[in-house]
Chains A and B, each alone.
Chain A
Amino acid sequence: MATRNRTALFRKYRTALQQVRPASASTSAQGAVVELSNAPLLRGAASGYNRLSTVDVDGSREGVVSVGLPPPWVDVSEEVAIDMQKIRSKMGELAKAHARALMPTFDDIKGKGQEHNIELMSQDITRLLKKCEQKLRQLSQDRGHSEDMKLRVNVQRSLATDLQTLSVEFRKHQKGYLQRLQQQQQQERASITASYERGKEDEFYDPGFNEQQMSRLKKAEVLSEEREKEVQQIMESVNDLAQIMKDLSTLVIDQGTIVDRIDYNVQQVATSIEQGVRELEQAERTQKKGDMVFCVMVLIALCVFMICVLIFKKLVL
């Protein structure tokens, strides 16, 4: 893949041409300092930007393009990006917590603490996802210039795609955890019933241990009930996310369709402007027609009135 860089040649020409040019411009710049520095600020206020103009007076033309601060919605999009970063790191932690919780332990108290922890983290992540989605909707709400609007819609789309992939990942993690939990549950139940059965066989030989086994059985049952509750909660959060996914899918572009084509998107602006012009013309025409219709009606009314007058005169006569 061959390329060629012409920047050096370009810069050479540019500096050469500048040395030829600015001899005339810098003399006038001295007198007009105040105007020069005020004008950009006024212009800036009109277009809603805060401009920091950096006009150098001593003639060197560095940065006459004033670098403006971006509009406020950019801050919103950056907040969303930061939140998504937070979500990613939290999901990493959650994955680790899942792995730890799934390891078999004999200590119930630590188990409870872990479960609580996991629940908190999952709720946290869900909350963050919802917050991001709401902020995303905010992005396209206030109508601005058409160009700015397009820009905003595109930023929104890109963030929506990322958000959607994040939520899908989150759900997959949760589902995986859920499945493994259920597997463990089943294994425990199986082992409990197996040990119970074995216990029953031993009854004839060792009746003394019956009570101990019963208490163990009760403890195991309590444990499995709690696990079931946990599973239910996770299912609920999974369905919460389903709602978010559905809302997001309206914002995301379907890849491979006509909407994903660059030339189609560029032409949409052109066609909508054309249509706007056509509609204006149409409106003009109908308005004119409206005037005409009014005149026609007035004339007809007058005619009818005159005819009535004539008839009356004849009658009177």
Chain B
Amino acid sequence: MVLVAAVRDYVSKMLSDIAGMKVFVLDAQTLAIVSVATSQSELLQKEVFLVEKAESTSSEPMTHLKAVCFLRPTAENMQNLKEILGQPRFGEYHLFFSNILKTNFVQNLADFDQHEAVQQVQEFYADFIALDPYHFTLNTPSNHLYMVPLLFDPTKIQPLCERIIEGVSSVFLALKKRPVIRYSRNSEIARRIAQDAARLMYEQEAALFDFRRTEVLPLLLIIDRRDDPVTPLLNQWTYQAMVHELIGIQDNKVDLREYSRVPKDQQEVVLSSEQDPFFRSNMFENFGDLGMNVKKMVDTFQSQHKSNQNIQSLEDMARFVENYPEFRKMQGNVSKHVALMTEMSRLVDERKLMSVSQAEQELACHSSQAAAWDELNAQWELPGVTDDEKLRLAMLYALRYERENPQQLQELVDRLNAGRSKYNSNLLYSLLKQAGEEKRTGDLFSNRDLFNRARTMARGLKGVENVYTQHQPLVFHLIESIVKGRLKDADYPFVGNHAQQGKPQDVVIFIIGGTTYAESRVVALQNAANPGTRVLLGGTVVHNSKSFLRDLEEVQRVGRASIY
């Protein structure tokens, strides 16, 4: 509830104090922020009868409406506001900005408002897209820039850093907390962002962030995607993560238009844990259990449908009409989930994902090199395995055994070159350069020290429930350490002179470079299991394997373009 509830509260506060018919003016990013948190019908209830974009060039005056503008404080919006206020179309303007306004911004705004149409200017800190109760994202463009070294081109990376700091600080303002900040030691960008955030919260806007202190301060942990490059490369088998991996989820919407066998009204669907109770109870279930639950739902629906067919008396008719809206809603829901399941099953069969994924999990979790090499070769030979899958298998192998046998790596790269992969095969070396063992903080494969190795061996002996979900992202281990209060200082130092005794109750983990739905699942399950600690997860984007590989390619291209 937490993150989504925060955004909803802000939106309803904006709208409820103003009476009369309203227009909601949004820019591209606040549109996404508002769309995941509230729905069109809720806006209608609050008398918002029109939603417009700030860049809209329409000149139709509608002075009986009041405009509520919710915008990000950017230079582009400054320009839009200049045009909007120069020729006001609506009776009143109430301006809400999603982040801190600099004084010269306010000054310029005052200059533009020659018609005195603006009634209020407020800062409402909802500057993040709250996908799920414990998961937010920022949808930053040009996400790949985080992998470019900071000294290389500071001006390009500056907007990304600023957006991250604005997003993270708005999360804390929405929660009314001020944290101690820790970051991933080996990552330059993490350190830079941690330091800038500390400066903002403790020096520049100290008064704004001065909230009631709790006994144990909350924690902000800033880590780098490159600390865990394995999770985005793996195939996923739990509902939400699987849909994103195979089809793609954007702001809780799934676009099925490319898939031919989907019925007309299910071409774009919404997968929101807030609005869909079936999804809420099944989003973390694995594919097998999910199939059974969908079947159960279909059976219930069918039995109700049959009883609706069987209308014999006036009473039955009356009952049918009464229950019709709910029936229709259920029907829509059932078709949506059935369509998604069908598509995913088809893709699993087509790409032979069951066997490939098993190999992936083996590579990620077990450490016998010879067995891994054999497994890799076996998968390679299978017919129907796509080039993407081969690339991913090769990358997983390379990440795990990069030191052991460089010749094998070269052989893999040659084989990839021979194939028709649309990705550059040097991507393998790029990946190692960015996220190789010495670049990573933390113990990704749990094999750095004796204790961890012993633990993994013990787990291996115990056996796993499900071969396809045995991999645990690095975030899982991090949360475990945080909850026990044993996060290593050597790996995750504090910023400046921050220090923390005891175990924090509120934790925000921000992954620069993007999160994955597998990680958000881990966070949600941990929150359910440890009610004393609440962990929130956020990132610059939400990755699946395609987007992660695309980022690697972009960085490679940027590097080559400037003889780097």
Q: Which residues of A contact B (CB under 8 A)?
A: 1-7, 9-11, 13-14, 16-18, 21, 47, 49, 61-71, 74, 145, 147-148, 150-151, 154-155, 157-158, 161, 164, 168, 171-172, 175, 235, 238-239, 241-242, 245-246, 249, 252-266
Contact = CB atoms under 8 A, between A and B. Distances in A.
B43 A262 contact: yes
Contacts of B31: 262-263, 266
B206 to A, nearest CB: 14
A172 B332 CA distance: 25
B61 A68 contact: yes
Contact of B38 (A71, A239, A262): A262
Contacts of A5: 120-123
B311 to A, nearest CB: 12
A100 B114 CA distance: 63
Given A4-B122, A13-B110, A239-B314, A168 B44 contact: no
B40 A254 contact: no
B387 to A, nearest CB: 33
29 contacts: A1-B176, A2-B125, A2-B173, A2-B211, A3-B13, A3-B122, A6-B106, A17-B110, A61-B115, A66-B63, A70-B64, A147-B50, A151-B62, A158-B44, A158-B45, A235-B318, A242-B317, A242-B321, A246-B321, A249-B328, A255-B41, A257-B269, A260-B41, A262-B51, A263-B35, A263-B251, A263-B253, A266-B31, A266-B52
A154 B39 contact: no
A6 B121 contact: yes
Given A49-B61, A67-B91, A261-B253, A13 B106 contact: yes
A51 to B, nearest CB: 8
A231 to B, nearest CB: 10
Interface in B1-31: 6, 9-10, 13, 21, 26, 31
B329 to A, nearest CB: 6
A17 B116 CA distance: 12
A192 to B, nearest CB: 24
A172 B35 CA distance: 34
B276 interface: yes
A262 B40 contact: yes
Nearest to B123: A4
A100 B58 CA distance: 58
Contacts of A157: 41, 44
Given A14-B116, A154-B44, A254 B332 contact: yes
B244 to A, nearest CB: 17
Of listed A47, A70, A172, A262, residue having the most chain B CB within 10 A = A262
Interface string B123-150: 1110000000000000000000000000
B88 to A, nearest CB: 5
B246 interface: no
A5 B39 CA distance: 26
A242 B318 contact: yes
Contact of B41 (A155, A171, A253): A253
B322 interface: yes
Contacts of A158: 41, 44-45, 47, 49
Contacts of B26: 266
A261 to B, nearest CB: 6
Chain B binding surface, main DSSP class: mixed
Nearest to B90: A65
Nearest to B110: A13
Contacts of B480: none
B414 interface: no
A7 B121 CA distance: 5
Contacts of B61: 47, 49, 68
Given A10-B109, A13-B107, A14-B113, A150 B118 contact: no
B270 interface: yes
B556 interface: no
Nearest to A5: B122
A257 B40 contact: no
B208 interface: yes
B263 to A, nearest CB: 13
B268 to A, nearest CB: 5
Interface string B465-488: 000000000000000000000000
A261 B39 contact: yes
A310 to B, nearest CB: 57
A238 B322 CA distance: 10
A171 B321 CA distance: 10
Contacts of B125: 2-3
A65 B92 CA distance: 9
B40 A253 contact: yes
B40 A265 contact: yes
A168 B322 CA distance: 7
Interface string B265-279: 000111010011000
A235 B316 CA distance: 12
Query: Which 7 pairs from chain A and chain B are nearest by CB?
Result: A13-B110, A70-B64, A158-B44, A14-B110, A242-B321, A263-B35, A154-B49
Nearest to A165: B325
Contact of B328 (A172, A241, A254): A254
A32 to B, nearest CB: 17
A171 B322 contact: yes
Given A10-B121, A154-B50, 20 more contacts: A1-B9, A1-B13, A2-B174, A6-B123, A7-B120, A10-B109, A10-B110, A13-B109, A21-B114, A62-B116, A147-B62, A158-B47, A161-B45, A239-B318, A242-B321, A246-B321, A252-B325, A254-B332, A260-B39, A266-B51
B53 interface: yes
B118 A10 contact: yes
B297 interface: no
